Structure formats: structure tokens, C-alpha cells
Chains A and B, each alone.
Chain A
């Protein structure tokens, strides 16, 4: 099985798994869900690091890559923190003092 064919399978299965998982999320949490998946897709920072930090990186690669690292880190940090901040607000009545 060729490399890209394998990748297509991974994508297909992951998307299918995503559909199943997201359908199980209560509408109550759709907003935190969106900020969580946003933070997760900031894992693109991995690609940005590989571009920026490579030995033979051109100036163009360094500039674009650094900007991409900045944007992805911004998304990851603010995404996880704000998701947690929102989730902390969801309380049942019994838990209230």
C-alpha cells in the first residue's frame, strides 16, 4: 500500500471517528467543543517547527514558519485556556455552595 493511500485511509477513519464522537457531544457544550477542536488543530505547530528550524531553511521559510509558529501557539494557548475557563462554569446545583 503506497504512502499516500495509507494517509487517505487514516483520514477517512479519523473523520468517521470524529463524526461519531461529535454526535455524542451534548449541545450544552458545543461552544467549548469548538474552542477545544481549535486548540487541537493548532498541532499544526509541528509542521511550522519543521519548516522554521530546518538546517537549510531559506529566509522565506524562516519568516513564514515563524509567523505560523506564533499563530499556532497563540491558538493552542488561548484555545485550551478558554475551553477550561468555560468548562469550569458548568456546575450542577448540588455542587454549588
Chain B
């Protein structure tokens, strides 16, 4: 008798339970780290017992890959700045998807050349695994390039784009189908691989920077489904479970991101994200009020409740730490400061929370959009830093606006609105924001970090004088 058939399935089951618990414990920051540990234990158990399986006989290649993978993984995890987490996430979707696609490829050739030949069920899973794997690999690398800003962030569109994309996808799917019917047609497989790779690139070309949170979540889902399909090929239920968890997680996050931008469910599934119209409305010069850091500090100091609404611009100018200093000074002076986080603030789901947590802002001060909106009329000051579309009242009031229907943080309901912004130029999406011209709005012109530093200086000076 061999242990493989008795103990191994139990260990795999324990590992799968570990993964499930790991995700369950992510529901609160208090238990989340425990979740990471239980996930790690599950993985170590599963990997160690796989290495001991009787059909695994040669170790030198595996060992080399383990050493290199660990050597590359540790520095990535520790050196990566938190602003670059979206890039790393895109990169790791690419790695995961490619690993899954390569395993599928090896399995395919093994089945043809050495047997036993794959059944049509296995071939179906294998085709899904490799199709999703290869397309997610190139798509994620493209997303990585856009986030890292080595590729242009503006969406690139051309006439008939959807037609071309759909054609390539149909061709890949058609060849995949032919391979399922008759796997022995070896010549088709490389064509299938190339088409999948090309489709991944085409999928991301028309997508702009603002849509990245959705795209990353969707690619996460594809990568997970690919490794779940691998579980079907290898008849391994632990892989099916782990992949299904990853796939459903990415899918839910994509839906949440979509809702936060008022995109339809169909848009997610077909990847036809389109882009916001970049036609800036011809904006005639309208009057607005502006103020200095000195005046801004006085207004903040006199407030009882301040709601800060941060956007990605905050992270770009690395102003999180100055913001936390301001938060602490105001706190000391009895001002209640909270942070209103829009779901798409930042470059991936939840990104802004991580950036503020890194700057030591306590997480119980980070409030979700739906949670804080009812309280906005009671806020003395809404301080908007590096955010634009997510506070644009046109989303609620102007049905013709490109962002009509998008849920926003209702900053305009606060008694005073202050906006730190470089100039009156429209933001990334090129949509004019009526909020800036309202009578209760005060514009604070300057770089976010420099301006917050001046406010902090003023507040500290008042604190000493008192």
C-alpha cells in the first residue's frame, strides 16, 4: 500500500480548509494576520506532501526553481513601495496565469506523446486553463506596463476595434474547440497559444488608467479560474477550491468596482470597458474663491468635524504622511477628522486604505462612501485632496455628464468645501467640476504635499501660541 492514496487527500483537504479560513479571517483587521498564517501553513503542508509523492522522483530542477523563486519573491515583498502595489498585483496575476498556462501546455504535450490521452472533459478543462492563462498573462503584463507608466496610460482606440478583438477571440475559441474534438492535431496548439496571447494584449489596449481597478480585479478572476481549470485536468480538488476562491474573489471585486463607477455588469464580462469621453466642456471663466494655507488652517481649526476625501493625486505627491500630521494636530485640538474613501480612490480595490494605513492613520477613521454620505451635511469642512470625479456633483445632477449615475462622496453637502488642487484645469478624465465654483467652496492652489506642510506649520504655530 502506498500513503499517496490515503494520507495525501486528507492533507490536501486540510490545506483547502486553511485557504478558506484564511479568506474568512480577512473580514476584520483584527483577525486578518492569523488568516495569512493559516494560509501559509496550508500551502507548506500541501507542497511538502506533494514533494513526497511517489511519482515525484527528480528534485534538482524543482529545487533550483524553489530557490530562485524565493530569492526573487522576498525582495519584491519588502522593497515594494505601497504606491506600487497595483503594479505588483498585476505582475503577480501575470506570473500566476503564466504558470498555469505552462502547466497546461506541458500536460497537453504529455498526453499526446506519452499518454494516457486526455479525455474530452480533460481537454475542455485544459483548453480553458491555457486560454485564460495565456490571455491573462499578456493582459496583466499590459496592465503592469500602464500602471508602471512604461506604456501610455491613455486608452488607444481605433475603428472596428471590438470587431477585431472579437474576431481574434472567436478564432482562439474555435481552434480550442477543434483541439477538444481531436487533441492529436498538434499543429493547431501553437496557433491557439499565439492567438490567446494576442487577445490578452488587445484586451487592454483600449483601457485607460481610470479603469485599472476594475481590470485588475477581473484579471485576478481569470487567473483564478485558470488554476481552477488546472485542478480539473489534474483531478486535484484542492486546486479547484483554491482557484475557485481566487476566481470568485476577483469577480466580486470587479463588480464592486463597476458599481462604484456605474458601469454595467455586461461591461465587465466582455471586457468592453470603453473610456470616459475626454471632450472637456468649453468652460467659460467663472468666478471662484481661493485661500492661503494660513486661512485654510484657521478654518480647519475652527471646525468641529472635518471629512478628508483623498484621491490618487494624494499618493502621487506622496502627501499621506503630511496628511497624518495634520490629522494628529487637529485631533489634539479637539477637531474630529475622518477620511471618506471612495471605492475607486487609488489604482486597485482598497488601495487608498493601504496608503493611509501605511502613513499611520488609524483604520477606524477610514470610512466607506455609503457609510459617511448621510453624515456629510453635518461636516463643517470637506477637504478634498487629489480627488475630482468622485466628488463631482454632476454625477448626480447632470444626466448628460459622462459620469452620470456614478456614486459620489457628497462633499458638496458639507458647510465648507476646500479643494487642494494644482490649478483650475480639469482633471484626468477632462470633466469640469461644478463643485469648484460653488459659493461655499474654497480653492487651495498648490502641490498637495507642500500645501499640507504649510497647513501643518500654521496649525503647529497656533498650538504653541495657545
Instruction: List A residues at the B interface (Cβ < 8 Å).
Output: 3-4, 7, 10-11, 14-19, 21-58, 60-62, 64-93, 96
Residues A88 and B92 in contact, CB atoms below 8 Å apart: no
Residues A30 and B242 in contact, CB atoms below 8 Å apart: no
Of A7, A16, A70, A93, the contact of B65 (CB 8 Å cutoff)? A70
Q: How many A-B contacts at CB < 8 Å in the complex?
A: 364
Residue of A nearest to B82 (CB): A86
Residue of B nearest to A76 (CB): B43
Decide yes or no whether B214 CB sits under 8 A from chain A. Answer: no
Residues B65 and A73 in contact, CB atoms below 8 Å apart: yes
How many angstroms from the CA of A19 to the CA of B250 in the assembled complex?
10
Chain A neighbourhood of B330, CB < 8 A? none
Chain A neighbourhood of B114, CB < 8 A? 56, 58
How many angstroms from the CA of A3 to the CA of B231 in the assembled complex?
12
Decide yes or no whether B461 CB sits under 8 A from chain A. Answer: no
Of B39, B76, B357, the contact of A40 (CB 8 Å cutoff)? B39
Chain B neighbourhood of A24, CB < 8 A? 24, 27
Q: Which of B97-105, B146-154, B165-173 contacts A (4 or more CB under 8 A)?
A: B97-105
How many angstroms from the CA of A43 to the CA of B323 in the assembled complex?
40
Decide yes or no whether B64 CB sits under 8 A from chain A. Answer: yes
Q: A34-B249, A78-B74 are in contact. Are A47 and B96 (CB under 8 A)?
A: no
Of B73, B233, B248, B363, the contact of A18 (CB 8 Å cutoff)? B248
Residues B69 and A77 in contact, CB atoms below 8 Å apart: yes
Of A48, A70, A86, A91, the contact of B103 (CB 8 Å cutoff)? A48
In chain B, positions 199-216 with a C-beta closer than 8 Å to chain A are 216
Of A23, A54, A77, the contact of B57 (CB 8 Å cutoff)? A54
Chain A neighbourhood of B230, CB < 8 A? 44, 47
Q: How far is the CB of B7 from the nearest CB of chain A, in Å? A: 15
Residues A91 and B110 in contact, CB atoms below 8 Å apart: no
How many angstroms from the CA of A11 to the CA of B230 in the assembled complex?
12
Chain B neighbourhood of A53, CB < 8 A? 51, 55-59, 61-62
Residues A83 and B36 in contact, CB atoms below 8 Å apart: yes
- Interface residue count on the B side (C-beta < 8 Å): 112
Q: A18-B248, A31-B354, A46-B238 are in contact. Are A79 and B33 (CB under 8 A)?
A: no
Decide yes or no whether B420 CB sits under 8 A from chain A. Answer: no
How many angstroms from the CA of A87 to the CA of B232 in the assembled complex?
33
Chain A neighbourhood of B98, CB < 8 A? 67-68, 71
Residue of A nearest to B342 (CB): A27
**Extra contacts besides A30-B348, A66-B62 (14): CB < 8 Å:** A18-B247, A21-B245, A22-B253, A24-B24, A24-B27, A41-B224, A41-B245, A44-B239, A54-B56, A58-B109, A58-B110, A68-B103, A80-B36, A84-B36
Q: A11-B228, A57-B58 are in contact. Are A50 and B234 (CB under 8 A)?
A: yes
How many angstroms from the CA of A82 to the CA of B220 in the assembled complex?
17
Residue of B nearest to A46 (CB): B50
Residues A31 and B102 in contact, CB atoms below 8 Å apart: no
Residues A93 and B364 in contact, CB atoms below 8 Å apart: yes
Q: A40-B43, A83-B36, A92-B362 are in contact. Are A75 and B99 (CB under 8 A)?
A: yes
Q: How far is the CB of A6 from the nearest CB of chain B, in Å? A: 8
Residue of B nearest to A65 (CB): B106
Residues B23 and A37 in contact, CB atoms below 8 Å apart: yes
How many angstroms from the CA of A87 to the CA of B24 in the assembled complex?
15
